[in-house]
Amino acid sequence: MGRLFGTDGVRGLANESLSPELALRVSAAAAQVLSRGKKRALAVVGRDSRASGEMLEAAVTAGLTSAGVDVLSVGILPTPAVAYLTGVYDACLGVMISASHNPMPDNGIKIFTAGGHKLDDAVENRIEALVTEAAFVRPTGAAIGRVLGQSGLGGHVFDAHDQYSLEGTHERYVEHLVEATGRDLSGLTVVVDCANGAASQVGPAAYREAGATVIPIHAAPDGLNINDRCGSTHLDQIQRAVVEHGADLGLALDGDADRCLAVDATGAVVDGDAIMAVLALAMRDAGELVENTLVATVMSNLGLHIALRAAGITVLTTAVGDRYVLEELRRSNYSLGGEQSGHMIFPRFGTTGDGILTGLKLMARMSETGRTLADLASVVQTVPQVLVNVHVSDKTAVAAALTVQDAVAEAERVLGETGRVLLRPSGTEQLVRVMVEATDLDQAQRLADDLAKLVAAV
């Protein structure tokens, strides 16, 4: 078996590479690693709206309870909600069954540690070793885990406020989001594309509770239509809907609602870089942007760096993937991070990207300033970018080649602060991506082509 965990959990074609048997083994192993020997441990389990989620949730629940862990099933909820509730209920782990923005036939298992944090590499390796060895401790009798309902079975006793009804968990998450918004959004009209996914109920509910007028689209999941020509990867329909309804903005979530992209009143797309800039400036003005620093990935456009540099804000970059953004946020206690793809992380309010909260924060900035989203987003002027994919025989050798290193250094010297160069090996193929950004498109193309020739010759 190859590497089990990818950049965001275990993912694959449901009932094929991601089988119920594998889901059971992964969850049983995670329970043993993360329950920390507690006599009565608790896991929070949620899923998105995929039909296969029903099957996989049953397998995950079997795996967890077989390891002696009680399970609170919260039903269809966004990934950030499961992470949040894992912390709220002091659970030893949380499990989200979702393949995020992937097509419906795929599914995935995302695991959170206590407090709702994503796994680090060391913990993933321990879980993977247990899955491979199938060396599970199997309790019997009263030590077997229970599936919790309002009665608080399995040794967990809760008062009336903490009863585990689905309505209670959904409402608690919505209340958390609205409290984090900090502003009445009355007067704003928003179209919300729920991607027929996990946010189809709680997304519109949160925006309405905050005061906005909400027009939901693709909010009728049937198990098969998640991400189907809708959501954050298919923006054409929400662009039309915003214009047709005369809305102030549109918000497009993905299947598990951990990311959000926006559309302004004219139907123009506002990508993750522009969203990060708007939110960073809002937090700076409120004195909430720790050390006036934003954490982004290397894929963010140079235009974001230029805009925030002019505003006195530092942009720190990490490798691609929200897990690396999260690691830097936690390591240095920064207060905002994100990705161009729409993941926005506010450590004060959550441990993972939260698309619904991102939309609330965007609208709060519009309400606070009285400015349109187009006006706010115009602070970022996207710099032309050229990307060349080069097939190579050994991508590791390319990174070590002195001729390539020298050429990159020379290109960076030529560009100065008006451009940048990025060589990024593919994670899955013998491929090196050569990316050059420059205010002069012809210059960017010329430098990218020259670098691509050198890379191909290694």
The string of DSSP codes covering 394-442 is -HHHHHH-HHHHHHHHHHHHHHGGGEEEEEEE-SSSSEEEEEEEESSHH
- Express each pLDDT in 208-263 by its tens digit: 999 999 999 999 999 999 999 999 999 999 999 999 999 999 999 999 999 999 99
322 labelled binding-site residue: no
Give the per-residue pLDDT at 183.
93
Looking at the DSSP bridge assignments, the partners of residue 297 are 318
Residues known to be catalytic: 100
Please determine whether the domains at 10-164 and 172-377 fall in the same fold group of CATH.
Answer: yes
Q: What amino acid is encoded at 341 in this protein?
A: S
Contacts (Cβ under 8 Å, ≥6 apart) of 276: 294, 296, 300, 304, 336, 338, 344
d(CA 360, CA 182): 9
Question: Coil, strand, or helix at residue 384?
Answer: coil
| pLDDT one-digit tens code per residue, 337-355 | 999 999 999 999 999 999 9
**Tens of pLDDT, residues 275-287:** 999 999 999 999 9
> DSSP letter string over 261-292?
EEEETTS-EE-HHHHHHHHHHHHHHTT-SGGG
Choose between 205 and 120: higher pLDDT: 205
Boundaries of every domain in the chain: 10-164, 172-377, 385-457
- Pairing between strand 249-253 and 385-391? unpaired
* Confidence category of residue 15, pLDDT binned at 50, 70, 90: very high
Does 444 score more than 50 pLDDT? yes
Cα gap 15→213, rounded to integer Å: 40
Look over the chain and give the mean of its residue pLDDT values, rounded to a whole number.
92
pLDDT, average across residues 25-37: 91
- Which amino acid, one-letter code, is at 53? G
Condensed to tens digits (0 to 9), the pLDDT of residues 54-91 reads 999 999 999 999 999 999 999 999 999 999 999 999 99
pTM beyond 0.85, yes or no: yes
Own/partner pairs, 34-39, CB within 8 angstroms, 24+ separation: 34/92, 34/93, 34/111, 34/113, 34/114, 34/123, 35/67, 35/68, 35/69, 35/92, 35/93, 36/92, 36/114, 38/92
- Give the pLDDT confidence score for residue 160 in this predicted structure: 34
> Is 314 exposed, middle or buried (CB count within 10 Å of its CB: 0-12, 13-18, 19+)?
middle
CB contact set of 371 (below 8 Å; sequence gap of 6+)? none
Flag the least confident range among 155-169, 275-289, 316-330, 362-376: 155-169
Provide DSSP, 308-366.
HHHTT-EEEEE-SSHHHHHHHHHHHT-S-EE-TTS-EE-TTT-SS--HHHHHHHHHHHH
The response to whether 258 counts as a known ligand-binding position is: yes
Is 100 annotated in a binding site? The answer is yes
The pLDDT score that the predictor gives to residue 159 is 40
Q: Consult the annotation and say whether 273 binds a ligand.
A: no
Q: Note the pLDDT of residue 38.
A: 72
- 314's CB contacts (< 8 A; 6+ apart) are 291, 292, 293, 294, 308
pLDDT at 438 exceeding the cut of 70: yes
Model pLDDT, residue 28: 96
Q: What tokens appear for 15 in the block?
A: 């009932």
Its CATH class, for the domain covering 385-457, is: alpha beta
Topology of domain 10-164 in CATH is: Alpha-D-Glucose-1,6-Bisphosphate; Chain A, domain 3 (3.40.120)
Question: What is the distance between the alpha carbons of residues 350 and 104, in angstroms, rounded to a whole number?
Answer: 27
**Amino acid letter, 350:** G
Structure tokens at 326: 């999260």
Q: Does domain 172-377 have CATH number 3.40.50.11890?
A: no
CA dist 214 and 291 (Å) reads 35
CA 415 from chain centre, in angstroms, equals 32
Query: What's residue 3's pLDDT?
Result: 79
Question: In the Cβ-directed half-sphere of 442, how many Cα atoms lie within 13 Å?
Answer: 0
